[in-house]
Amino acid sequence: MLKLPTWSSIEQHAKTAKDFQLVKLFEDDPARAETFRLHCAGLHLDFSKNLISEQTQKLFCALGEEAKILDSAQAMVTGELVNASESRAALHTLLRTPHGEQPKQLDSNASQVSDALKQMKSISGRLRDGDWRGHRDNKITDIVHIGIGGSYLGPSMVDEALTTEALPADTSNNIACHYVANVDGHHIHQTLASLNPDTTVIIVVSKSFTTMETMLNGKTAKKWLEDAMPASALQHHLIAITSNISAAESYGALAENILPMWDWVGGRYSVWSAVGLPIAIRYGFDKFNELLEGARQMDKHFLESDLSENMPFVLAWLGIWYQQFFSVTTHAVIPYDHGLRNFSEHLQQLDMESNGKRVTAMGEQVACDTAPVVWGGEGSNGQHAYHQLLHQGTRQVTVDFILPMQPRHPLTEHHDQLVASCLSQSQALMVGRSRQQMPNLEPKLAAQKEMPGNRPSNTIVVDKMSPYSLGALIALYEHKVFCQAMLWQINPFDQWGVELGKELGDNIFDAIKGDAIAGDAIELDGSTESLLRHYLALRAKT
Ligand code: F6P
């Protein structure tokens, strides 16, 4: 990015932009809110409360052209090996492309996607209709979805986000979905304790089918089934979603109950695949299709819109602008929607596992900050907690507010208050409160009450939260992360940084299993060794 010709012009421009005052920018241009606004797939991005001018946008669009962002996007969606370090394609967009509309060279991949969708439709339909029976011929009432990272965050977040989706009048086919990720035994233990094995199906989701947490939780869940039924009955209670078919069969799932994952779809982009099966089970396959359709519309917008009107690209360059020139290192995503209360967890994996990297795809040091620390939580709860820091803290934090316009409940006054809360927060960040506005206060107190203002934010207005708009929203952030990666010239589709911890974890686990730091067979630093010895000593007593 820093080597692209327009970058030096952006640096020059930033010197004047540092003096931008948001309130003044609005005074000078009454049409500003219209200028910096985009629409797509039921989402409206208001990015007018940013420290930018039309010149800023023009320069970043030129930078995006130089970086050939849209050419790179084409390379991604047409199946080039954009994940070069693993020699893989990144074809999550194909998962939401209607069969027949794919590029010719992806015919075989598209057929696999289509077959997987049929399998999802059939399994989710049978479970919902009560045709899938437990070993005692009971209807299935509960699903336990076991997975971690992308095999967990996407489906659990979407499920939670749609909780308030109107369910069919006949709710007799509702199935409760429980999600277990953590290897902390409390989670699986508590989840299973409340369920009846005769009416429960376990879904083990792991692309590799080797991930420690998922394998152990899967083993524990299988043991729970085995304790309640003969081995021959397990097949009625197990589904696996993986690219490692033989391991899933050894685990005990019938071939027809194993759904595919592919090495050409990254875990954090996999909610659109069979990984999203619980969504189809809980809400019906049509709703799952609506989710895909929303994402599809965002894909089309991203691939076909000019960079100046390209929502993902706009979010991408704004992030880079603040990191580079305003020392912003953390980005908060604050949805004013209870269903999206864990949206930022999904974004953390998407953004930080994709772009939390320090070298380019060519192995060179990146000469600037890459992925921000992404965090957030639901509004208005945060207003009574961390918003203090957003308004008066020493650190600059950029914020995306997400605001659905129509509620999915009948309590109008609640929604009016929610909307007022959200709008007032971005307004307060922008306008602040000066000491001059508090002339009667003694200076010491006035200093503490002063709010600097001029703090930027985006507001993403959603007409109404639905599977369609949620699909568009998730895809918006996927493409934002992709654009930033292209500007930083890093590979967003690998995650080598998580490997070392896994290897060291295996070593330490072996030492624990051997109940000793066997002949000092593993090399440990003083701190880790002393912590481990402490654990072993306690473990020996229990
Ligand atoms: O450890 C990181 C990671 O590989 C993620 O990228 C992935 O989503 C997660 O682990 C789970 O992997 P799997 O689906 O193979 O169990």
Q: Which residues of 157-196 are buried (b: 16+ CB within 10 A; e: fewer)?
A: bbbbbbeebeeeeeeebebebbbbbebeeebbeebbeebe
The answer on 482 and 381 residing in a single domain is: yes
Q: Read out DSSP for 376-397?
A: E--TTGGGGTTHHHHHH-SS-E
- How far is Cα 493 from Cα 496, in angstroms, rounded to an integer? 10
- How far is Cα 73 from Cα 84, in angstroms, rounded to an integer? 15
Hey, how many other C-beta atoms are within 10 angstroms of the C-beta on 262? Answer: 19
- The whole-number pLDDT of residue 364 equals 94
- The whole-number pLDDT of residue 167 equals 52
Describe the crossing of helices 285-304 and 467-488 by its angle, rounded to 10 degrees.
40
Ligand 1 first shell, C-beta below 6 A: 148-151, 206-208, 211, 214, 267-268, 353, 495, 498
**Token pair recorded at residue 178:** 């429980």
- The whole-number pLDDT of residue 232 equals 96
Of 92, 211, 261, 351, best ligand 1 pocket probe by most atoms within 8 Å of the beta carbon = 211
Place of tokens 């039309």: 54
- Cα(first)–Cα(last) distance of the chain, in Å? 57
Examine residue 23 and state whether it is found in any structural domain, yes or no: no
Examine residue 402 and state whether it is found in any structural domain, yes or no: yes
The answer on 487 and 519 residing in a single domain is: no
- The whole-number pLDDT of residue 1 equals 66
Examine residue 74 and state whether it is found in any structural domain, yes or no: no
Handedness of CA 383, 385, 386, 389 (dihedral sign): positive
Please list the pLDDT of the chain residue by residue as tens digits (542 residues).
Answer: 668 999 999 999 999 999 999 999 999 999 999 999 999 999 999 999 999 999 999 999 999 999 999 999 999 999 999 999 999 999 999 999 999 999 999 999 999 999 999 999 999 999 999 999 999 999 999 999 999 999 999 999 999 999 876 555 455 568 999 999 999 999 999 999 999 999 999 999 999 999 999 999 999 999 999 999 999 999 999 999 999 999 999 999 999 999 999 999 999 999 999 999 999 999 999 999 999 999 999 999 999 999 999 999 999 999 999 999 999 999 999 999 999 999 999 999 999 999 999 999 999 999 899 999 999 999 999 999 999 999 999 999 999 999 999 998 999 999 999 999 999 999 999 999 999 999 999 999 999 999 999 999 999 999 999 999 999 999 999 999 999 999 999 999 999 999 999 989 998 998 888 866 655 556 789 999 899 999 999 998 88
Q: Which residues pair with 177 in a beta bridge?
A: 143
**Token pair recorded at residue 433:** 């409160």
- How far is Cα 20 from Cα 50, in angstroms, rounded to an integer? 9
- For residue 132, give the H/E element and its range: none
- How far is Cα 414 from Cα 420, in angstroms, rounded to an integer? 10
C-alpha triplet 425, 427, 429: angle, nearest 5°? 70
The answer on 455 and 390 residing in a single domain is: yes
- How far is Cα 471 from Cα 43, in angstroms, rounded to an integer? 11
The answer on 380 and 482 residing in a single domain is: yes
Single-letter code of the amino acid located at 13: H
What is the atom index within ligand 1 of the atom nearest the CA of 153?
A: 8
Contact of 527 with 516, CB cutoff 8 Å: no
The answer on 323 and 233 residing in a single domain is: no
Q: Which residues pair with 241 in a beta bridge?
A: 205, 259
The answer on 275 and 128 residing in a single domain is: yes
- Report the number of distinct structural domains present in the chain: 3
The answer on 249 and 235 residing in a single domain is: yes
Place of tokens 């490997």: 499
Contact of 80 with 89, CB cutoff 8 Å: yes
Atom 5 in ligand 1: which residue has the minimum CA distance?
Answer: 149
Of 207, 215, 251, 269, best ligand 1 pocket probe by most atoms within 8 Å of the beta carbon = 207
- How far is Cα 156 from Cα 187, in angstroms, rounded to an integer? 15
Q: Which residues pair with 204 in a beta bridge?
A: 146, 240
Atom 13 in ligand 1: which residue has the minimum CA distance?
Answer: 206
Among residues 163, 159, 148, which one has the least CA distance to residue 208? 148
Ligand 1: distance of its center to the CA of 211 in Å?
7
The answer on 520 and 461 residing in a single domain is: no
Among residues 36, 30, 84, 83, which one has the least CA distance to residue 58? 36
Among residues 259, 311, 299, 302, which one has the least CA distance to residue 155? 259
The answer on 514 and 383 residing in a single domain is: no
* 200-205 vs 238-242, strand pairing mode: parallel
Hey, how many other C-beta atoms are within 10 angstroms of the C-beta on 279? Answer: 26
Examine residue 281 and state whether it is found in any structural domain, yes or no: yes
The answer on 518 and 413 residing in a single domain is: no
Among residues 295, 301, 287, which one has the least CA distance to residue 467? 287
Mention every residue, 6+ apart, whose C-beta is less than 8 A from residue 276: 120, 154, 155, 158, 288, 291
Single-letter code of the amino acid located at 111: S
What is the atom index within ligand 1 of the atom nearest the CA of 213?
A: 16
**Token pair recorded at residue 69:** 């962002």
- The whole-number pLDDT of residue 50 equals 98
Helix (H, G, I), strand (E, B) or coil at 344: helix
In terms of residue numbers, what domain contains 227? Answer: 105-288
The answer on 311 and 460 residing in a single domain is: yes
Examine residue 271 and state whether it is found in any structural domain, yes or no: yes
Contact of 470 with 291, CB cutoff 8 Å: yes
CATH code of the domain covering residue 446: 3.40.50.10490
The answer on 125 and 268 residing in a single domain is: yes
pTM of the complete model: 0.96
**Token pair recorded at residue 460:** 């993403």
- The catalytic residues are 353, 384, 502
Contact of 292 with 117, CB cutoff 8 Å: no
- How far is Cα 272 from Cα 92, in angstroms, rounded to an integer? 7
What is the atom index within ligand 1 of the atom nearest the CA of 502?
A: 1
Examine residue 152 and state whether it is found in any structural domain, yes or no: yes
Examine residue 77 and state whether it is found in any structural domain, yes or no: no
- How far is Cα 210 from Cα 71, in angstroms, rounded to an integer? 35
Examine residue 46 and state whether it is found in any structural domain, yes or no: yes
